[in-house]
Every structure is written in C-alpha cells, then in structure tokens.
Amino acid sequence: MPRSPLLLLAAAFLLTEAKLPAQADPPKAVPRYGAEPADRTPTGQPAKMVRLELWMITLGEDAGPEVLESAAQPLAGRDEAAARVKRLQGGKLLARSLFFSGITVDGQPLHWQMGISEPTVSAVSTNQRGSSFNIQYRDVGVVLEADCDVLSDSRIQIALKLQESHLEQSDIPIQQVAGEEPILASQTVLFSHASRVVCNSSGALVVFSSSVKGDAKDRTIIVYLAGTILE
C-alpha cells in the first residue's frame, strides 16, 4: 500500500527536530580526605622535627633525703637535666640509670622497645654429686611511647607512656645451707607512668619523682623529660 505524502513529511520533520541527549560532563576528581604526608603539615608547610630525651634514674641506698630533694628540683633546661644525672653518677648515688633519645615528626608517634629474657633460679636440688638448679626465664625490658604536638615555635605538648621492668634479688631464700650464703629468689620490679605535659623547646621537666620505703629495699625513682624543636 503506497504511503501517504503527509506521513512521509511528518517522519522527516521528527528526524530533523529530534535531538540527541547532551553528553555528560567529564567526571570531576573526587576530593581525597585524610592525613597529610608525614613531612608536610595540613597547610603544606614542612613539618617540624622534635627530639625527645628521657632520663629514668633510681637513687642508691646511700642517697639521703637531701639528695632526693635536690634531684627533684625543677630544671632550667635540657642541659641541666644531663648535668644533674652526671653529678649523681659521679657521686655513685645511682643504683640504675636509663637514657633514651629519639627524633619524630610533629604529630607522629614515637615508639621504642627493648627487652631481654633474664634467667632466674626457681629451685635447687642437692644430692651426693652436688647441686642442680631449675632455671626459668622472665621477660623484662623497657617500652616507651610518646606523641608530640608542636604548639608554637617554642612550645611542645608531649603525651608520654613509659613502662620498665627488671629483676632484683628478694629476701626469700630458695636454699639455705648452714655456713653458706643462702640462694635468694628473684623478683620482678615493674614501673609504669603516663602523663601529658607542655614544655619549652630545649627545656626539661621533672615528670615523675617518688620514694617508696619497703621492708626489703627502698626505691626512689625520678624521670626527666626534655623536648627540642629542630630547625
């Protein structure tokens, strides 16, 4: 059946007037959110470096109350902390001394850990051939964690966590033989401290001092903390 000229004209009109849908705009980059690289601040400026130094000292039995009072006095700066520890060491007034130094980026955590398995005598067996010892191992050491935030060109906020453990001889005998020194059991001494402080760059603080009197042994522990913004 022949098509009507009117229908052919209408079809041509629709083809000329129909428009293809507009092409979609190219996808835009999706903004990425998250931490900036460690060597850059959110403003794009180079991040500041911070050096942390920590001294943990335990005074010896020969250190009297006046030594503790002097050692726990406020510090003028990092150099005075180091000099104070050196004087106590020179006077043989320290039973233990630990020193830590590390560098981190502003806003980045600092983690330091060192440990060892110490052998201890847990039991003694004696026969005609002699004595045999039952040895056990105990894990002891130091864990230090610190978060540093540079508040200005001269001030630092430091969140500190410190845990230290070591073995000491107790007063509990494992074996007692007439005419001989007794073999004493070992005990684990644990120290744990957490604090948040603000100090000046190149300054130092006494963040902890404590004296504990015990039946077996007196313990006096002092912790110095210093922070320095590096140029």
Query: pLDDT tens-digit profile of 54-100?
Result: 999 999 988 888 999 999 999 999 999 999 999 999 999 999 999 99
Q: Is the pLDDT of residue 14 over 60?
A: no
pLDDT band at 45; cut points 50, 70, 90: confident
Q: Is residue 36 part of a domain?
A: no
Q: Is residue 129 part of a domain?
A: yes
Q: Is residue 3 part of a domain?
A: no
Q: Is residue 27 part of a domain?
A: no
Output Rg (C-alpha) for the chain, integer angstroms: 35
Question: How far, rounded to the nearest angstrom, does the alpha carbon of residue 225 sit from its chain's CA centroid?
Answer: 12
For 71-101, give one letter per residue: b (16+ CB within 10 A) or e. bbeebebbebbbebbeebeeeebbbeebebe
Q: Is the pLDDT of residue 13 over 80?
A: no
Cβ-in-10-Å burial (0-12, 13-18, 19+) of 192 comes to exposed
How would you classify the pairing of strands 219-230 and 203-212? antiparallel
SS3 21: coil
pLDDT of residue 117: 93
- Taking alpha carbons only, the member of 67, 46, 45 closest to residue 57 is 67
> What percent of the chain clears pLDDT 90, i.e. is strictly above it?
55
Range of the domain at 200: 45-230
Least confident of 37-41, 98-102, 129-133: 37-41
Q: Is residue 38 part of a domain?
A: no
Q: Is the pLDDT of residue 4 over 70?
A: no
Least confident of 44-58, 149-163, 166-180, 192-206: 166-180
Which amino acid, one-letter code, is at 143?
V
- The torsion defined by the Cα of 225, 118, 91 and 52, in degrees rounded to 10, comes to -20
On whether the CB atoms of residues 100 and 53 are closer than 8 A, the answer is yes
What separation, in Å, do the N-terminal and C-terminal C-alpha atoms of the chain show?
A: 94
pLDDT of residue 214: 57
Number of separate domains in the chain: 1
Question: Could you identify the residue written with the tokens 């009507």?
Answer: 4
Average pLDDT, the chain: 82
Question: How far, rounded to the nearest angstrom, does the alpha carbon of residue 82 sit from its chain's CA centroid?
Answer: 20
Higher pLDDT, 129 or 194: 194
CA angle 163, 196, 87 (to 5 degrees): 65
Tell me 131's DSSP state: E
Which amino acid, one-letter code, is at 59?
L
pLDDT band at 150; cut points 50, 70, 90: very high
**Quick count: other Cβ atoms within 10 Å of Cβ 115?**
11
Q: Is residue 115 part of a domain?
A: yes
Handedness of CA 9, 13, 15, 16 (dihedral sign): positive
Question: How far is residue 139's CA from residue 209's CA, in Å, rounded to a whole number?
Answer: 25
Structure tokens at 201: 């760059």
pLDDT band at 175; cut points 50, 70, 90: confident
Least confident of 29-38, 171-180, 182-191: 29-38
- Taking alpha carbons only, the member of 10, 87, 105 closest to residue 49 is 105
Q: Is residue 28 part of a domain?
A: no
Q: Is residue 39 part of a domain?
A: no
Most confident of 11-20, 91-100, 125-134: 91-100
Which amino acid, one-letter code, is at 119?
P
